[in-house]
Amino acid sequence: MPINRKTKFGQINISDNAIASLAGTTVNECYGVVGMISKNYLVDGYSALLKKENYAKGVVIRDRKEGIQVDVYVVISYGVKISEVVIGLQQRVKYSLENSLNIDIDSVNVHVEGILVNG
Protein backbone atom coordinates (compact mmCIF):
# COMPACT_ATOMS: atom_id res chain seq x y z
CA MET A 1 0.00 0.00 0.00
CA PRO A 2 1.73 3.20 -1.12
CA ILE A 3 1.99 6.21 1.13
CA ASN A 4 0.09 9.22 -0.13
CA ARG A 5 0.83 12.80 0.92
CA LYS A 6 -0.88 15.95 -0.28
CA THR A 7 1.11 19.18 -0.48
CA LYS A 8 0.25 22.61 -1.77
CA PHE A 9 2.04 21.66 -5.01
CA GLY A 10 0.16 18.40 -5.57
CA GLN A 11 0.01 14.72 -4.61
CA ILE A 12 3.05 12.63 -3.57
CA ASN A 13 2.86 8.84 -3.77
CA ILE A 14 5.69 6.76 -2.29
CA SER A 15 5.58 3.08 -3.21
CA ASP A 16 6.39 0.30 -0.77
CA ASN A 17 9.14 -0.78 -3.14
CA ALA A 18 10.82 2.64 -2.87
CA ILE A 19 10.66 2.51 0.95
CA ALA A 20 12.00 -1.06 0.93
CA SER A 21 14.89 -0.13 -1.37
CA LEU A 22 15.90 2.79 0.84
CA ALA A 23 15.67 0.60 3.95
CA GLY A 24 17.71 -2.14 2.25
CA THR A 25 20.45 0.27 1.24
CA THR A 26 20.64 1.57 4.81
CA VAL A 27 20.74 -1.96 6.25
CA ASN A 28 23.69 -2.94 4.07
CA GLU A 29 25.68 0.09 5.26
CA CYS A 30 25.41 -1.02 8.91
CA TYR A 31 28.36 -2.47 10.78
CA GLY A 32 28.20 -6.24 11.25
CA VAL A 33 25.67 -6.87 8.49
CA VAL A 34 26.98 -9.19 5.77
CA GLY A 35 23.90 -8.76 3.61
CA MET A 36 20.19 -9.26 3.24
CA ILE A 37 18.29 -12.42 2.40
CA SER A 38 14.88 -12.87 0.80
CA LYS A 39 11.97 -12.89 3.23
CA ASN A 40 10.70 -15.99 1.41
CA TYR A 41 14.01 -17.84 1.32
CA LEU A 42 12.52 -21.01 2.89
CA VAL A 43 9.70 -21.07 0.35
CA ASP A 44 11.87 -20.08 -2.61
CA GLY A 45 14.68 -22.43 -1.63
CA TYR A 46 17.11 -19.68 -2.53
CA SER A 47 19.29 -18.40 0.27
CA ALA A 48 21.91 -16.30 -1.52
CA LEU A 49 22.56 -12.77 -0.33
CA LEU A 50 20.57 -10.15 -2.19
CA LYS A 51 22.22 -7.71 -4.56
CA LYS A 52 21.42 -4.01 -4.63
CA GLU A 53 18.66 -4.28 -7.23
CA ASN A 54 16.84 -6.89 -5.09
CA TYR A 55 16.99 -5.27 -1.63
CA ALA A 56 13.21 -4.89 -1.60
CA LYS A 57 12.88 -8.70 -1.42
CA GLY A 58 14.49 -8.64 2.03
CA VAL A 59 12.18 -5.96 3.45
CA VAL A 60 8.49 -6.05 4.36
CA ILE A 61 6.58 -2.76 4.75
CA ARG A 62 3.28 -2.59 6.66
CA ASP A 63 1.20 0.54 7.04
CA ARG A 64 -0.34 0.71 10.54
CA LYS A 65 -2.35 3.38 12.36
CA GLU A 66 0.65 4.10 14.58
CA GLY A 67 3.03 4.43 11.64
CA ILE A 68 4.96 2.29 9.23
CA GLN A 69 6.26 -1.08 10.42
CA VAL A 70 9.42 -2.32 8.70
CA ASP A 71 10.71 -5.92 8.83
CA VAL A 72 14.22 -6.64 7.53
CA TYR A 73 15.85 -10.04 7.00
CA VAL A 74 19.62 -10.01 7.44
CA VAL A 75 22.72 -12.18 7.71
CA ILE A 76 25.17 -11.07 10.41
CA SER A 77 28.93 -11.49 10.49
CA TYR A 78 30.39 -14.04 12.91
CA GLY A 79 32.06 -12.57 15.99
CA VAL A 80 30.00 -9.41 16.40
CA LYS A 81 27.60 -8.80 19.26
CA ILE A 82 24.27 -9.45 17.59
CA SER A 83 22.22 -7.31 19.98
CA GLU A 84 24.44 -4.27 19.33
CA VAL A 85 24.30 -4.74 15.56
CA VAL A 86 20.50 -5.09 15.64
CA ILE A 87 20.02 -1.99 17.84
CA GLY A 88 22.26 0.07 15.57
CA LEU A 89 20.48 -1.22 12.50
CA GLN A 90 17.06 -0.34 13.94
CA GLN A 91 18.17 3.19 14.80
CA ARG A 92 19.76 3.84 11.40
CA VAL A 93 16.83 2.50 9.38
CA LYS A 94 14.31 4.48 11.44
CA TYR A 95 16.38 7.68 11.16
CA SER A 96 16.99 7.24 7.42
CA LEU A 97 13.35 6.62 6.53
CA GLU A 98 11.92 9.33 8.77
CA ASN A 99 14.33 11.99 7.53
CA SER A 100 14.36 11.03 3.86
CA LEU A 101 10.64 10.43 3.39
CA ASN A 102 9.12 12.49 6.21
CA ILE A 103 7.04 9.56 7.47
CA ASP A 104 6.51 8.11 10.95
CA ILE A 105 8.17 4.75 11.56
CA ASP A 106 6.48 2.78 14.32
CA SER A 107 8.97 -0.08 14.48
CA VAL A 108 11.87 -1.72 12.72
CA ASN A 109 11.88 -5.48 13.28
CA VAL A 110 15.13 -7.27 12.49
CA HIS A 111 15.10 -10.97 11.63
CA VAL A 112 18.60 -12.44 11.85
CA GLU A 113 18.37 -15.35 9.41
CA GLY A 114 21.97 -16.46 9.58
CA ILE A 115 25.52 -15.87 10.68
CA LEU A 116 28.34 -15.93 8.12
CA VAL A 117 31.81 -17.03 9.15
CA ASN A 118 34.40 -15.14 7.12
CA GLY A 119 37.51 -17.07 6.39
Determine the pLDDT at residue 119. Answer: 43
Burial label, 4 (beta-carbon count in 10 A; 0-12, 13-18, 19+): exposed
> Could you give phi then psi for residue 84, rounded to 5 degrees?
-70, -40
pLDDT in tens, 23-50: 989 998 999 988 888 776 655 555 667 7
Q: Which amino acid is at 66?
A: E
Structural domains counted in the chain? 1
Determine the pLDDT at residue 6. Answer: 83
CATH code for the domain in which residue 33 is found: 3.30.70.1350
Determine the pLDDT at residue 3. Answer: 78
Sign of CA dihedral 104, 110, 116, 118: positive
Q: Say how far apart CA 81 and CA 1 lie, in whole Å.
A: 35
Q: Say how far apart CA 75 and CA 35 lie, in whole Å.
A: 5
* Residues of the domain holding 17: 3-116
Please state, in angstroms and as integers, the Cα–Cα distance from residue 94 to each residue in 19, 46, 71, following that order.
11, 28, 11
Q: Let me know how many helices (H) and strands (E) the chain has, helices first.
A: 3, 6
> Could you give phi then psi for residue 57, rounded to 5 degrees?
-70, -20
pLDDT in tens, 75-88: 899 999 999 999 99
